[in-house]
Amino acid sequence: MQKYLVRRFLLALVTLLSVSLIIFIMSRVSGDPRHIYLDDYSTQEDWDRMGVVLGLDKPYYQQYGIFLKGALRGDFGESVREGRPVTEVVIERAPATLLLGAVAFSFSILIGVPLGILSAVKRGTMMDSFGKLIALVGQSAPPFWLGIMLMFFFAVKLGMVPPYGKQEWNSIILPAVTLGWYYAAANLRLVRSAMLDVLDSEYIKLARAKGVNSRTIIMKHAFRNALIPPLTFAGVTIGALVTGSLVVETVFAWPGLGRLAIEALFAFDYPLLQGVVITFTLLYVTAAFIVDVLYAYVDPRIRYA
């Protein structure tokens, strides 16, 4: 157990290091931020002076070393676009993304898991067909299209919720549903499949033969033993809902980290883009690590080498 956790922790560190190197290279390929600040009348001296100010006068390996050294201290440098420390900008935008991810995750669980159980228990009925329809739409509709359709009907036509931005408490409903529908559909299919496998097992048949209450069979015996696949997906979902909010935040003008990443990309803001992506990666890796730890408590049969 201990060796396994240490190995997973080291793997997480390697992942963070690899991502930092990849985003460093990709951000440099996207263009030079000096083009934003200097016009056609600028001289070579102006160009060189701006390079010194932005730290672009050093070789790439030195720039990466400076970035990595600062990142270990929680210092990602100063945002070119904002003129403020990257950490300050990220902390300012992070709550909106975390709130959106939490509401979307709750939606995916509250909709996907109960429908998955009902779909398995009521196999072959209208409830099962309804569950399959929800799963089909959720996993086939692109998030940007789904977001625009929800915005058109519920915000523009019906006027029930604000169409974009973080204006009122109900502003989060449309982006959360858009972001969480795919994962609700995936949870539905996973729970249904796992429940069907367990419900067809011998010990469930024996429990039914002994006259055990159906509710007890479903919730205490079947669902508990079918929990590993949904739990695995839940860990991935937590990280993906936060890191995958980029498209949804752009469609709904939600002031979170996803939209901030797009703004940093178009502004050639290297430090800010690197800081946002590292934050995304850290959240994703942490969620996956927590799920690995939870396995041992959910299923005692799991043994770590």
Distance CA 209, CA 204 (A): 9
Paired residues of 85 in beta bridges: 78
Tokens of 159: 């006027």
pLDDT above 70: residue 205? no
Backbone angles phi, psi at 84, to 5 degrees: -130, 165
Tokens of 130: 């309804």
Percent of the chain past pLDDT 90, that is, above it, reads 0
DSSP characters for 195-214?
HHHHHTSHHHHHHHHTT--H
Q: What is the pLDDT of residue 110?
A: 87
48 domain-assigned: no
Residues near 12 by beta carbon (within 8 Å), at least 6 away in sequence: 285, 286, 288, 289
103 domain-assigned: yes
226 domain-assigned: yes
Q: How confident is residue 207, by pLDDT bands cut at 50, 70 and 90?
A: low
Q: How confident is residue 277, by pLDDT bands cut at 50, 70 and 90?
A: confident
Specify the range with the lowest mean pLDDT, choosing from 58-67, 82-91, 232-241, 242-251.
232-241
Tokens of 229: 């696949």
Q: How confident is residue 244, by pLDDT bands cut at 50, 70 and 90?
A: low
Q: How confident is residue 21, by pLDDT bands cut at 50, 70 and 90?
A: confident
The DSSP 8-state label assigned to residue 217 in this structure reads I
Q: What is the pLDDT of residue 17?
A: 85
Higher per-residue confidence, 234 vs 114 = 114
Specify the range with the lowest mean pLDDT, choosing from 20-34, 93-107, 128-142.
20-34
**Residues 210, 213, 215, 220, CA torsion sign:** negative
Distance CA 271, CA 73 (A): 14
pLDDT above 60: residue 302? no
The type of residue at 15 is T
> For residue 217, what are the domain limits?
89-298
The DSSP 8-state label assigned to residue 162 in this structure reads -
Query: pLDDT digits over 126-149, tens only?
Result: 888 888 888 888 878 888 888 888
51 domain-assigned: no
Helix (H, G, I), strand (E, B) or coil at 78: strand
Distance CA 209, CA 220 (A): 16
Distance CA 32, CA 270 (A): 9
Tokens of 111: 């909709």
C-alpha closest to that of 282 among 19, 33, 6, 102 = 19
- Do residues 233 and 187 touch, judged by C-beta distance below 8 A? yes
Helix (H, G, I), strand (E, B) or coil at 85: strand
Of the ranges 2-6, 190-194, 214-218, 230-234, the best mean pLDDT one? 190-194
Query: What is the CATH classification number for the domain harbouring 97?
Result: 1.10.3720.10
Residues near 70 by beta carbon (within 8 Å), at least 6 away in sequence: 76, 77
244 domain-assigned: yes
CA distances from 7 to 2, 81, 231, 297 (A): 9, 39, 21, 19
- Do residues 136 and 181 touch, judged by C-beta distance below 8 A? no
C-alpha closest to that of 174 among 148, 141, 137, 139 = 148
Report the domain count for the chain: 1
Q: What is the pLDDT of residue 203?
A: 66
283 domain-assigned: yes
Of the ranges 56-70, 100-114, 154-168, the best mean pLDDT one? 100-114
33 domain-assigned: no
Measured over all CA atoms, what is the biggest interatomic distance in the chain, rounded to whole angstroms?
88
Distance CA 264, CA 267 (A): 5
The type of residue at 261 is A
| pTM, rounded to two decimals | 0.74
Q: How confident is residue 10, by pLDDT bands cut at 50, 70 and 90?
A: confident
What does the mean pLDDT of the chain come to? 79
182 domain-assigned: yes
Higher per-residue confidence, 216 vs 283 = 283
Query: pLDDT digits over 165-192, tens only?
Result: 777 788 888 898 888 888 888 888 888 8
Q: What is the pLDDT of residue 217?
A: 67
pLDDT above 80: residue 37? no
Q: What is the pLDDT of residue 289?
A: 77
